[in-house]
């Protein structure tokens, strides 16, 4: 059957039990669950001309499958999440490898025992590795902040090297901030790994959807009770109703087609945009992507090369390593990070986590708390740094919560909802 696309002008809002804003993993998983397990009719409003959010991929002019919003590699330890996604696509068991281009020498990232041998030489590295093992244990992951906090001069030497050659310049390019200035959870994503394991992730389930993410999303949204309106911005069709005229007045209803919509509204866009940035814009980082196609089978030694000490882009990714596509041509993509200043032409990719920004976000979030049927979900709406698997997990959890509240459904917890049997005298 395929995804059912509608023009917003042609819809009758009374036909729907739920409205979802955004068709990334957050919006699409909830839409599918409410339709499938709750028998709900769901309308998805998506401002882009396609489904799939930041996971969207397509073939470029050379026929190479490329990701349009940054390279996306799926990895998780959550079996429920992986089993869920397996229903909508076959998977290629891809393990991601990243090398840092260190003045022309490729060293494994996360920085590990192999990287240490390359930069310190075998003899010195053996001694330093023993020191690391004695201090933290073998096969352990240590954040750069933990390592820098050590007093021992030899550990300080390792910390200093990794800080200067892996984190400092990359972080400055990516965030416009030093590693000390970014939230510690950000650099903790890429710890020093006291191991010979050169993989970027150690999760139990890792891979790529066999035919790409867009096909996965087409299967996820291929349901007779889901309609999708593309090129439609929530702000242009939502009419917000507040308790009063004051700046901090609480949201009491969202009107669609002139009347308050009473079913669940799942919102996965930026919260500041919904409120027309009344408290000022939330800070984000944006990205520019530059693609290049080469007449050669492979151009890079692995999926991604990080430019940690030179160049003005952060990393370069060669999609064929990720997708295992066969071709005598190849396409690579460089990522240039920049400030997010213009919502009309830029995309907010990364929330910039800090106490101040989190408080700024909390002020927006507070406006929504009085509206029972409004659910902010996802990387943008929650102003968080979530990977795809976490989003799918949260979307499944939220679906469980909404389904438990829906009047006509009893969820027996095994993923298949069953219709509630109504007593004859019940309303």
Residues contributing to the site for ligand UDP (CB under 6 A):
100, 109, 166-167, 170-171, 174, 182, 186-187, 189-190, 306, 308
Q: How far is the CB of 388 from ligand FAD (least distance, A)?
A: 3
- Binding-site ranges for ligand FAD (CB under 6 A): 21-27, 45-48, 53-54, 70-73, 233-235, 268-269, 273, 287, 349-350, 378-380, 386-389, 391
Is residue 25 packed enough to be buried (19+ CB in 10 Å), middle (13-18) or exposed (0-12)?
buried
174 binding partner (options ligand UDP, ligand FAD, none; Cβ < 5 to 8 Å by kind): ligand UDP
Alpha-carbon separation of residue 396 from 17, 333, 404 (angstroms)? 18, 32, 12
100 binding partner (options ligand UDP, ligand FAD, none; Cβ < 5 to 8 Å by kind): ligand UDP
Q: How far is the CB of 308 from ligand UDP (least distance, A)?
A: 5
In sequence order, what are the beta bridge partners of 207?
74
Give the C-alpha separation, 424 to 51, whole Å: 42
Q: Report whether 331 contacts 291 (CB < 8 A).
A: yes
Q: How far is the CB of 275 from ligand FAD (least distance, A)?
A: 11
Which are the contacts of 104, defined by CB distance < 8 A and separation ≥ 6? none
53 binding partner (options ligand FAD, ligand UDP, none; Cβ < 5 to 8 Å by kind): ligand FAD
Q: Of the two residues 187 and 232, which places its CB atom closer to ligand UDP in the complex? A: 187
400 binding partner (options ligand UDP, ligand FAD, none; Cβ < 5 to 8 Å by kind): none
170 binding partner (options ligand UDP, ligand FAD, none; Cβ < 5 to 8 Å by kind): ligand UDP
Q: How far is the CB of 218 from ligand UDP (least distance, A)?
A: 25
Q: How far is the CB of 182 from ligand UDP (least distance, A)?
A: 6
Q: Report whether 387 contacts 325 (CB < 8 A).
A: no
Q: How far is the CB of 419 from ligand FAD (least distance, A)?
A: 29
Q: Report whether 378 contacts 22 (CB < 8 A).
A: yes
Which are the contacts of 416, defined by CB distance < 8 A and separation ≥ 6? 37
Residue among 267, 250, 245, 258 at smallest CA distance from 373? 267
Residue 30, H or E segment: helix 25-38
167 binding partner (options ligand FAD, ligand UDP, none; Cβ < 5 to 8 Å by kind): ligand UDP
Q: How far is the CB of 165 from ligand UDP (least distance, A)?
A: 9
Q: Report whether 171 contacts 182 (CB < 8 A).
A: yes
235 binding partner (options ligand UDP, ligand FAD, none; Cβ < 5 to 8 Å by kind): ligand FAD
In sequence order, what are the beta bridge partners of 338?
286
Q: Of the two residues 18 and 171, which places its CB atom closer to ligand UDP in the complex? A: 171
Which are the contacts of 124, defined by CB distance < 8 A and separation ≥ 6? none
């Amino acid at each position: 059957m395929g995804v059912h696309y509608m023009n917003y002008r042609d819809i009758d809002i009374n036909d729907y039990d739920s409205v979802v804003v955004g068709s990334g993993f957050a919006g699409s998983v909830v839409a599918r669950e409410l339709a499938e397990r709750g028998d709900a009719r769901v309308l998805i409003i998506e401002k882009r001309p396609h489904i799939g959010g930041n996971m969207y991929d397509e073939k470029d002019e050379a026929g190479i499958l490329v990701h349009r919003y940054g390279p996306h590699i799926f990895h998780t330890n959550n079996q429920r999440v992986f089993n869920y996604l397996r229903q909508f696509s076959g998977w290629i068991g891809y393990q991601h490898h990243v090398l840092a281009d260190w003045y022309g020498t490729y060293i494994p990232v996360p920085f590990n025992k192999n990287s240490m041998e390359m930069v310190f030489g075998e003899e010195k590295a053996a001694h330093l590795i023993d020191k690391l093992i004695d201090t933290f244990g073998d096969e352990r992951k240590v954040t750069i902040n933990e390592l820098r906090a050590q007093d021992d001069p030899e550990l300080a030497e390792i910390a200093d090297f990794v800080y200067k050659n892996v984190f400092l310049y990359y972080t400055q390019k990516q965030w416009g901030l030093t590693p000390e200035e970014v939230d510690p959870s950000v650099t903790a994503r890429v710890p020093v790994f006291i191991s010979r394991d050169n993989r970027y992730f150690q999760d139990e389930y890792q891979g790529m959807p066999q035919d790409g993410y867009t096909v996965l999303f087409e299967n996820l949204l291929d349901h007779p009770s889901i309609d999708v309106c593309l090129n439609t911005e929530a702000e242009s069709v939502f009419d917000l109703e507040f308790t009063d005229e004051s700046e901090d007045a609480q949201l009491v209803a969202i009107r669609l087609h002139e009347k308050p919509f009473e079913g669940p509204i799942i919102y996965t866009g930026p919260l500041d945009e919904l409120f027309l940035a009344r408290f000022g814009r939330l800070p984000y980082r944006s990205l520019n992507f530059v693609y290049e196609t080469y007449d050669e089978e492979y151009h890079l030694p692995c999926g991604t090369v990080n430019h940690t000490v030179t160049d003005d882009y952060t990393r370069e990714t060669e999609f064929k390593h990720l997708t295992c596509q066969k071709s005598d041509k190849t396409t690579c993509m460089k990522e240039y990070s920049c400030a997010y200043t213009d919502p009309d032409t830029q995309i907010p990719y990364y929330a910039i986590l800090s106490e101040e920004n989190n408080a700024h976000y909390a002020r927006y979030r507070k406006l929504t708390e009085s509206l029972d049927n409004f659910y902010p979900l996802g990387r943008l709406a929650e102003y968080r740094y979530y990977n795809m698997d976490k989003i799918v997990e949260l979307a499944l959890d939220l679906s469980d919560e909404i389904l438990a509240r829906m009047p006509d459904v009893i969820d027996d917890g095994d993923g298949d909802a069953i219709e509630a049997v109504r007593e004859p005298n019940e309303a």
